[in-house]
C-alpha cells in the first residue's frame, strides 16, 4: 500500500457538493482507503481569471493502485461528475490531480510525480498542508515551506471539518 495525495477542485454547479462527492468516490476506489481529507477552501481562479471562485481540498489515500491506474481512476471520477476538458485552467465541474505518491518519482507525458506545479499554487498547498505540512516533495521542498512563500491572498477556509485519521 502506498500513500497518495490527491487535489480536488470545482467551480461549477455546486462546487462544495462536487468536492465532497468526489471525496466519497475516492473512498470507493478498489484497493484504496481514504485516510483523511483537508478542510475545504474557497480560492480565486488561477490562470483564466474570468471565472467563478473554486472550492478546493486534498485527500490522503492509502492505495494498492499503481500511479497510472490511480490517475485513470481519478479521470473516471471526473468524467462521471460531468467533466468536459474544454480549456486549460478554465471552469470545471470537477478537477482531480494526483499530486504525490510516497516513494514514486515519474516524468512522462501523461503523468509527472510529484505534480510539477504544486509549489506555484496556494489552492493546492493550503489543503495539502492540512494533511502533511512536513511532507517533502522531491525536487520542490517541504509543503509548509512552499506554502510560506506562495501568494495565498483571497483564499478562505470554509470549514474546520476533517475526516477521522
Query: Which residues lie closer than 8 Å to 115 by C-beta, 6 or more apart?
Result: 7, 97, 98, 99, 100, 124
16 as an active site residue: the answer is: no
- Provide the pLDDT for residue 165: 45
- From the candidates 16, 21, 36, 97, which is the catalytic residue? 97
Give residue 87's pLDDT band: very low, low, confident or very high (50, 70, 90): low
C-alpha cell at 161: 471539518
Q: Supply the pTM of this predicted model.
A: 0.93
- From the candidates 37, 42, 95, 130, which is the catalytic residue? 95
Cα→Cα distances 70→3, 38, 41, 46, 153, Å: 12, 20, 24, 25, 32
d(CA 25, CA 82): 14
95 as an active site residue: the answer is: yes
Q: What is the pLDDT of residues 121-151, one digit of tens each?
A: 999 999 999 999 999 999 999 999 999 999 9
- From the candidates 83, 117, 121, 130, which is the catalytic residue? 83
CATH of domain 2-157: 3.30.70.560
pLDDT at 157 over 60: yes
33 as an active site residue: the answer is: no
Q: What is the pLDDT of residues 23-42, one digit of tens each?
A: 999 999 999 999 999 999 99
More confident residue, 160 or 69: 69
- From the candidates 37, 42, 92, 121, which is the catalytic residue? 92
Domain-wise residue ranges, the chain: 2-157
CB 11 within 8 A of CB 83: no
Sign of CA pseudo-dihedral 35, 96, 54, 3: positive
- Provide the pLDDT for residue 8: 98
Provide the mean pLDDT of the chain.
92
Amino acid at each position: 500500500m502506498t500513500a497518495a495525495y490527491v487535489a480536488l477542485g470545482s467551480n461549477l454547479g455546486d462546487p462544495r457538493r462536487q468536492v465532497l462527492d468526489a471525496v466519497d468516490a475516492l473512498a470507493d476506489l478498489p484497493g484504496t482507503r481514504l485516510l483523511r481529507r483537508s478542510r475545504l477552501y474557497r480560492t480565486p481562479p488561477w490562470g483564466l481569471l474570468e471565472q467563478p471562485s473554486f472550492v478546493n481540498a486534498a485527500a490522503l489515500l492509502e492505495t494498492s493502485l499503481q500511479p497510472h491506474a490511480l490517475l485513470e481512476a481519478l479521470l473516471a471520477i471526473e468524467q462521471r461528475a460531468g467533466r468536459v476538458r474544454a480549456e486549460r485552467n478554465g471552469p470545471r465541474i470537477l478537477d482531480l490531480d494526483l499530486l504525490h505518491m510516497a516513494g514514486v518519482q515519474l516524468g512522462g507525458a501523461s503523468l509527472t510525480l510529484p505534480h510539477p506545479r504544486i509549489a506555484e499554487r496556494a489552492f493546492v498547498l493550503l489543503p495539502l498542508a492540512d494533511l502533511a505540512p512536513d511532507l517533502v516533495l522531491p525536487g520542490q521542498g517541504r509543503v509548509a515551506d512552499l506554502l510560506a512563500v506562495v501568494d495565498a491572498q483571497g483564499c478562505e477556509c470554509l470549514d474546520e471539518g476533517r475526516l477521522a485519521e
